[in-house]
Amino acid sequence: MSTVYDFTVKDMDGKEVSLSEYKGKVLLIVNTATGCGFTPHYEPLEAMYSELKDKGFEILDFPCNQFAGQAPGSNEEIHDFCTIKFGTEFPQFDKIDVNGENADPLFVFLGTEKPFVGFGKGLKNAALAKFADMNNKKYGNRTYIGWNFTKFLVDREGKVIARFEPTVDMDEVKKAVEAAL
């Protein structure tokens, strides 16, 4: 069985990074965007990172522009926005596709290990589902991620143990991270 440690990704400068560098750490892998209604998730993500990084926790941030063009900037522009507006210090990687023919293999793996099962109940979630369905129709059976700020929790052995859609309360995400630590 594969783990996230079997993957190599590119950092924001285009250099190859083996995820095996994160062996033994609990990871939260997130596809992000700077112009999304969920962009404020950067704030609780950074707070969680600051509080838990010394306990073996890392957040891996992968910007993606596939959801209504909500991450149009360059890697540098996205990084500047995140550090200036939210003070982010966790690693940010190269902007990628998470769906379709050009989907990054890491996100194909994550989405296959923990497939999308919906955004949850409620009017807001139903509205997002309808919009996401329209946006993601073009990816067909290669739709792995429903929307920006989908989060995958990975244990210290590199196994995907949970998936959190952007509609999940960040307190719930934090509790799961703490339990994994």
Which positions are catalytic?
36
Which H or E run includes 10? Answer: strand 8-10
Residue 83 gets which letter from DSSP? Answer: H
DSSP per residue over 27-74, as a string? EEEEEE-SSSTTGGGHHHHHHHHHHHGGGTEEEEEEEB-TTTT---S-
- Give 128's contacts (C-beta < 8 A, 6+ positions apart): 119, 147, 166, 167
**Of residues 106, 104, 133, the one with CA closest to residue 118:** 133
DSSP state of 166: T
